[in-house]
Amino acid sequence: MPNRNFMMTRKHILGTSLAAATLVAGLTACNSDKLISVNENPNAPAAASSQALFTNATVSMMGRLRGPGFEHGFSGVWDQHYAETQYAETDINNPRNANVEAHWTGFYVGPFQDYNQILTQSTANPNLIGPALIMRAFLVEAMTDLWGDIPYTEAGKGSGTFTPKYDAQAVVYDSIFAALTKAAGIFKPTTDVTSPNFARYGATDPVYGNNGESETVEAAKWTKLANSLHARAALRISQADPAKSKAELVKALAGPVLSSNADNALMTWPGGTVSNPLCLNWLDSECGGTRDDQRLSERFIDTLKVAGDPRLFAYADPAAASFKATPTACDLTYKGMPNGHISMNVPNPCNPGKNFGGSNYSRPTLNIRLADSPSYIMTYSELLFIKAEAAERGWIAGSAATFYADAIKASMEQWEVPAADIAAYLAKPSVQYKGGAAGLTQIAYEKWVSLFNLETEAYAEYRRLNYPVLKPGPSALTSSIPGRVPYPDIENSLNKENLAAAKTAQGATDVTGKVWWDKP
């Protein structure tokens, strides 16, 4: 977890930023002249500054993308880091349309439009354009990885286009590469703070903030993130277009990238009504949530146990049943719930005729669910795994074995695993790098473990690398792990022709289908 003093500083910055952003939006809403402007985008009013829009867009996006819907629901369930104990639709591969629609519209009618508005109204200011390009690229990649072809070039135009066409996923990825390339070279730090063309987000930036650092340092961090996200996107298409994947990856890694855990891209929530969305969800958290229907997956916990992985204690809380005065052999300290059961209907062999209850299974550790626990965009560990795979494929110079070991070490250090435990884990014969096809499998497995708490990325990488081997549970409606999120029904009502064309272009677009880059 990040340094606590750093987190407290970020809390103050983000809280102040949100107050300012809300004030701007509120002043705009009270202008009676605008009440008749029914076609104006309420998420991007003309009077809203790019700083206010950036804060709101990023908070909204991260709240949804790293909130319980994806972290502990769709992505987290389908990559089998989590299992559902009560509302099992997603865990049996039959997601509820209302949830799909909420996520789809929540991304488009909000952060996507806000970032577009910044790019429209701040064209002369490179230091405002850069982060907006980067965060929009991060959002768009997550969306296209979940849904495949999506409205992009014609989306977010407000009254200009009510029925945007769907862009092929390959086209969306080309746009992501172009945006991140532009962003990496756009920053122009200056000491002339009076220049209207060189303003920056500073304290309104909920990702890197302005912790007393110089403008040059802030620009350097954003540049590193742009190149690192570029490398992530490049490797994501490795099976669909190897030549372009290699070219884009080499280009991305030629620039500065994340170089330590201090560079991890994240946002820390200020608390209160703008707390970590996982905290706001959970019944047993300090935020007074109302939900208690998700547990860590049996597949995940049992795998960590077999591997002797010390991250188990950072990822999972002990099951409540293990604290009984006289626990049974079934009341394990760390116990994961099997995936693909309906409403905890898991037979309890220790109590014939009964089912296990929620107290028998481990929740994610409370540190993940504190009010100010960070939500991650990208970590140094992931960047090192990207380098390890690229080196193993012969795309870049360097030792795949070294990158691999350093990636595991960085992941464990991120979760504050003691140095002795890290060394002991890396010394295990099963962990030591083997190279070749076996090495790629090791990278896939360790990346799956390290991407815990970045569930959209873990789900995407599982589909790309087809490892570890995951199987749906006994009540699942499909015989394989879902390959994508289905389109919401609302698109069939509001954008029927373009949706039909997108479905024709892709083939199956229900959970049995695959996105463009998901190849055998």
Q: Could you tell me which residues come within 8 angstroms of residue 315 by beta carbon, excluding any fewer than 6 positions away? A: 296, 300, 304, 364, 365, 368, 415, 452, 453
Alpha carbon distance 280, 370 (integer Å): 9
| pLDDT number for residue 19 | 46
pLDDT of res. 107: 97
- pLDDT of 520: 85
Q: Which two tokens stand for residue 318?
A: 């002990």
> Over the chain, what is the mean pLDDT?
89
Mean pLDDT across the stretch 429-450? 98
State the CB neighbour count (10 A cutoff) for residue 378: 23
Here the tokens at position 2 are: 């990040």
At residue 234's C-alpha, the angle toward residues 436 and 223, to 5°, is: 120
Q: What is the mean pLDDT of residues 469-495?
A: 97
| 47 — pLDDT class (breaks 50, 70, 90) | low
Domain architecture of the chain: domains with CATH: 10-30+45-280+371-506 (1.25.40.390)
pLDDT at 23: 36
What per-residue confidence (pLDDT) applies to 347? 82
Residues 6+ away with beta carbon under 8 Å from 178: none
**Nearest of 83, 2, 22, 184 to residue 476 by alpha carbon:** 83
- Give the whole-angstrom CA distance, residue 449 versus residue 441: 13
Q: Which two tokens stand for residue 145?
A: 């990885």
Least Cα distance to 302 among 315, 290, 287, 312 occurs for 312
pLDDT value at residue 152 = 97
Segment 403-407 shows an average pLDDT of 99
Its pTM stands at: 0.91
Using DSSP bridges, classify how beta strands 150-151 and 294-296 pair: parallel, antiparallel or unpaired: unpaired
Torsion of CA 164, 167, 171, 173, to 10 degrees: 90
Q: Rounded CA gap, 139 and 111, in Å?
A: 8
- 8's tokens: 């407290």
Distance of CA 348 to the CA centre of its chain: 34
pLDDT tens digits, one per residue of 170-213? 999 999 999 999 999 999 876 555 665 667 898 899 999 867 67
**Measuring CA to CA, which residue among 235, 261, 239 is closest to residue 396?**
235
Nearest-angstrom CA–CA distance, 340 and 411:
29
d(CA 359, CA 85): 11
With H, G, I as helix, E, B as strand and everything else as coil, classify residue 429.
Answer: coil
Contact 51, 206 (CB under 8 A): no
List, for residues 483-500, the tens digit of each pLDDT value.
Answer: 999 999 999 999 999 999
Highest mean pLDDT among 24-28, 323-327, 479-483: 479-483
Instruction: From 13, 49, 377, select the one nearest 209 (Cα to Cα).
Output: 13
Q: What is the DSSP letter of 291?
A: B
**Structural tokens at position 153:** 């070039």
Inter-residue contact 147 to 484 (CB < 8 Å): yes
Residue with token string 């977010």: 156
Tokens of 429: 């014969």
User: How far is residue 183's CA from residue 180's CA, in Å, rounded to a whole number?
Assistant: 5
Cα(151)–Cα(155) distance, integer angstroms: 5
Is the pLDDT at 372 greater than 50? The verdict is yes
Please give the average per-residue pLDDT across 56-85, as a whole number.
Answer: 96
